Amino acid sequence: MTDGTLYLLPVWLGDAGGTEGLPPANIAIAERVRLFFCEHEKTARHMLRRMSPAIDLNAIALHRLDKDTTDAEIAQYGGSLAGREAAVISEAGMPCIADPGARLVAEAHRRGVRVVPLTGPSSLLLALAASGLNGQRFSFHGYLPREGGPRKQAIKQIEQEARRTGGAQLFIETPYRNEALLADLLGTCDERSRLCLAVDLEQPGGSVVTRSIAEWRKAVPVLGKRPCVFVLGH
């Protein structure tokens, strides 16, 4: 193993919450680390400021790690891990889950750098646990296609998988497209399928509700531009 450690540092799922929502050990690590990788520097600085006023934001290095990060940059980042403590910060929740940080983690493993996941919220697991759907077998499909036709086809395939395997099927959407996705789900799925809408998890006004498609059609919710995890099952 190389003398270096890459922490996966979870953050809050939204704007609400204080240090009581994170393990003290995580905050101690955040105060100690001087090398961070994140999707957006502004968000990362805001999260670190929420964690502890003891973190000197002028004394840390923040590097962009997103879907456009090149292989050359990943290799360069990997080289910077030797002999150091570093951390990956997600935009919300657990790094590397529905998050581009996995590429740096793979590079860390390739170089023999120790990777340490820290305890913290994952919206996917929270939604699944509260959905009442199959937590013994499940699949995550990420974002579905943006266009209506391909999105409906993807929904049909996901529903078929749920019916064939009995497993819960999880997917997410950019909040401003929530309503379009929900409309396609209600218009495409069998009325007996069950759909969980997990909205604004760990935030004031958040909710997790599972109903059949037939029941949702009778009272269509307004999701608005709020983070939502969709879980489909039978």
User: Global pTM?
Assistant: 0.93
Mean pLDDT over residues 71-93, rounded? Answer: 97
Each residue of 127-178: pLDDT tens digit? 999 999 999 999 999 999 999 899 999 999 999 999 999 999 999 999 999 9
- Of 60, 86, 117, the residue at which a domain comes to its end is 117
CB-based contact 91:43 (threshold 8 Å)? yes
pLDDT band at 92 (very low <50, low <70, confident <90, very high): very high
Q: Please indicate, yes or no, whether residues 40 and 104 belong to a single structural domain of this protein.
A: yes
Q: Please indicate, yes or no, whether residues 113 and 202 belong to a single structural domain of this protein.
A: no
DSSP element (H, E) containing 63: strand 61-64
pLDDT band at 3 (very low <50, low <70, confident <90, very high): confident
pLDDT mean across residues, the chain: 96
| CATH number where 174 lies | 3.30.950.10
In the predicted structure, residue 2 carries a pLDDT above the cut 80: no
| CATH number where 17 lies | 3.40.1010.10
State the Cα angle at 49 between 43 and 52, rounded to 5°: 145
Mean pLDDT over residues 19-38, rounded? Answer: 97
Q: Please indicate, yes or no, whether residues 108 and 27 belong to a single structural domain of this protein.
A: yes
- Domain hosting 24: range is 5-117
